[in-house]
Amino acid sequence: MERVMLRGYRRVERVRFIDFKKEDILFLDFSDSTAEEGTEIINEATGVLKGGPESSLLLLVNVANAEMDSRLAEELELFLIRNRHCIRKQAIVGIGEPQEAAYIAIARLLKSDLASSDNMEDVRKGFPRFNDVEEAKDWLVSDQLYLAISFS
């Protein structure tokens, strides 16, 4: 996969598969990225997912300290909606105040049958968030459905 340059100081694979407990998890790492870099990450991930089998993908998105403007939030929403058919389970980590509004909008779209719900616990079921990457990976490979989690 092509590597993405981040703010000129390091090179990291932002779109990669993680082998975790004999399962492959597609990891989209937006951490510490600019909105422009976020667009590059989405473009790269789109290429990875083309033609993916139905309901086969475990997806983990890390947005810790990511710059999230309305354009990038919309691009991420579209990416998730267009690839919804191949995603079995998805989780997100790193939600802070700057990413909260985008997260809520995306979670509502992904949980379309609850899109009008005012109960945020219901809305979060569409895209559960976790405190750290390890916790999210454990949940993704488990047979568990979304459970209430403390969002401190």
In a domain, 150, yes or no: no
Give the total number of structural domains in the chain: 1
Q: How many whole angstroms separate alpha carbon 5 and alpha carbon 127?
A: 28
For residues 59 and 3, the model is more confident at 59
User: How do strand 23-29 and strand 87-93 relate by DSSP bridges?
Assistant: unpaired
In a domain, 151, yes or no: no
Containing structural domain, residue 115? 4-141
Q: Are 4 and 29 in contact (CB under 8 A)?
A: no
**Res. 5: pLDDT tops 50:** no
In a domain, 13, yes or no: yes
In a domain, 147, yes or no: no
Nearest one of 150, 103, 151, 146 to 128, comparing CA atoms? 146
pLDDT-derived band at 2, boundaries 50, 70, 90: very low
Sequence-separated (6 or more) residues with CB below 8 Å from residue 47: none
Q: How many whole angstroms separate alpha carbon 29 and alpha carbon 11?
A: 12
Map tokens 């490979």 to a residue.
141
In a domain, 132, yes or no: yes
Q: How many whole angstroms separate alpha carbon 103 and alpha carbon 42?
A: 16
What CATH number corresponds to the domain at position 12? 3.30.750.24
Mean pLDDT of the chain, nearest integer? 76
In a domain, 56, yes or no: yes
Q: What angle do CA 86, 97, 58 make, to 5 degrees?
A: 15
**Res. 123: pLDDT tops 50:** no
